[in-house]
Amino acid sequence: MADINRKKLDRRSLLKATAGSFVAWHTPGALSAPVKKPKARPKLVWVILRGGMDSLQAIFPHSDPHLMSHRKRLVSPLKDSAYDLGAGFSLHPALQELNSLYKQKQLIPVIATESGAKTRSHFYAQDMLESGLPDVDIESGWLNRAVESYQGESLAIAHTLPIGLRGKQRANTWYPDVLRPAKEDLYERLQVLYKDDQLLSERLAEGLKNRNLLGNMAKIKRKNSFASLAGSCGTILADRDGPDCAMLEMSGWDTHQNQVGHLDRQFKELDSGIARLRENLAEQWAQTVVVVTTEFGRTVAENGTGGTDHGTASAMFIAGGAVAGGRVQGRWPGLAKADLFEGRDLMPTSDTRQWVRAILSQHWNLSSTQLDYVFPAVKTMDTQLIRPISKSVKAAS
């Protein structure tokens, strides 16, 4: 019996080592059968910006009379070239794709949001953002609960399963490998070897499918960059039998020093990733919502090293062909000293979870009971964020 178990383990290790870039399944319970999805099933993509994005650089309030007194060195280099969003706000000049989406009414910038963590600790704030519960549970992510309610399939573009997709519903992970591609006859032999093992056989089939979908990955020099990963994510989601949602992450937002140049590069990479995601989703973009969030914002005032420190409120972006965009959402609290949180941070005026609840309600049609299961601590934002589905799309579904 020990030899048999060892052989099974060796087979699993062999698949992991040789297949490369394959989808790994994370199944809490018994293996569940894939859900048969209609052609026009709406997609959801969640992007986490890890490190605390400075929202006052991303969506800076050029009409606030106190802005320049807090951060003149940070704002001066970009204020004349930023994109005017109206309502007293501007978009960072590196966010060209997002500006284009805004003009096409496919982007909603949301100001002064928080994760609900009320902490300046990266780790706890990120755990709170991903769990979405009043008390963090690192084995239960809000996106997994949403997919469970939706009875859909999910994919994390990551080495390991993030908290956001942990839970009762089966979740998949994919990440490009750094190994030399295996020969075709090896996969043929593996198919024969695994024909009596349902888990390994289905995992191999799924891996080969994504290998074919992403066949040009070997030609890409920076295949682990956010832009490349977002493009691959779009390709997988656009497939007829692709997952219903995906989770992406981008690090490098902890800007304690030299923030102007660093954020310019960060925003360009983020912007390029959203563009690649849109391009590779192709027609599916029209039924897609992309939610971009971060764990907290930065201090309103710049520090002595050309950066900012951990803060409270930040911002989020809601993008996609399914989005009823073209306007800045959220309530602006002001930057006067008396209006700041604890005298130093942008005051939060809404919770990220409220906006995501509204998206899940309008985009995936989750019920109030299901929404309370996903986000039990907040109520749905009463704002129309998603375009009504056209009759032609309903017919295709």
* CA-closest candidate to residue 143, choices 272, 252, 250, 45: 45
Range of the domain at 157: 19-26+39-176+223-396
Q: What is the mean pLDDT of residues 112-130?
A: 94
Q: Residue 7: pLDDT band by 50, 70, 90 thresholds?
A: very low
Alpha carbons 287 and 277: distance in angstroms, whole number: 13
What residue type is assigned to position 2 of the chain? A
For residue range 220-241, what is the model confidence (pLDDT) as tens digits? 556 789 999 999 999 999 998 8
158: which residues sit within 8 A by CB, 6+ positions away?
A: 173, 175, 247, 249
For the chain, what percent of residues have pLDDT higher than 90?
A: 72
CA distances (Å), origin 219, targets 92, 117, 126, 134, 173: 31, 42, 34, 45, 22
- Has residue 46 been placed in a domain? yes
- Has residue 182 been placed in a domain? no
Residue 251, number of CB atoms within 10 A of its CB = 11
Report residue 158: phi and psi, to 5°. Answer: -165, 160
Kindly report the pTM of this predicted structure: 0.85
Q: What is the mean pLDDT of residues 243-271?
A: 98
| E strands present in 295-334 | 314-319
- Has residue 299 been placed in a domain? yes
- Has residue 216 been placed in a domain? no
> Is 80 exposed, middle or buried, given 0-12, 13-18 or 19+ CB atoms closer than 10 A?
exposed
Tokens for 316, please give them: 């989020």
- Has residue 122 been placed in a domain? yes
Q: Residue 30: pLDDT band by 50, 70, 90 thresholds?
A: very low
- Has residue 195 been placed in a domain? no
For residue range 250-262, what is the model confidence (pLDDT) as tens digits? 999 999 999 999 9
Q: Which pLDDT score, from 0 to 100, does residue 220 have?
A: 57
Q: Residue 122: pLDDT band by 50, 70, 90 thresholds?
A: very high
Total domains in the chain come to 1
Q: Which pLDDT score, from 0 to 100, does residue 21 have?
A: 54
Q: What is the mean pLDDT of residues 348-369?
A: 97
Alpha carbons 317 and 291: distance in angstroms, whole number: 6
Q: Residue 14: pLDDT band by 50, 70, 90 thresholds?
A: very low
- Are 329 and 86 in contact, with CB atoms under 8 Å apart? no
Q: What is the mean pLDDT of residues 81-110?
A: 98
- Has residue 218 been placed in a domain? no
Alpha carbons 132 and 125: distance in angstroms, whole number: 10
- Has residue 192 been placed in a domain? no
Tokens for 298, please give them: 């930065």
Q: Residue 34: pLDDT band by 50, 70, 90 thresholds?
A: very low
Q: Residue 210: pLDDT band by 50, 70, 90 thresholds?
A: low
CATH (domain of 350): 3.40.720
Q: Is the pLDDT of residue 54 over 50?
A: yes
3-state secondary structure of 266: helix
Q: Residue 219: pLDDT band by 50, 70, 90 thresholds?
A: low
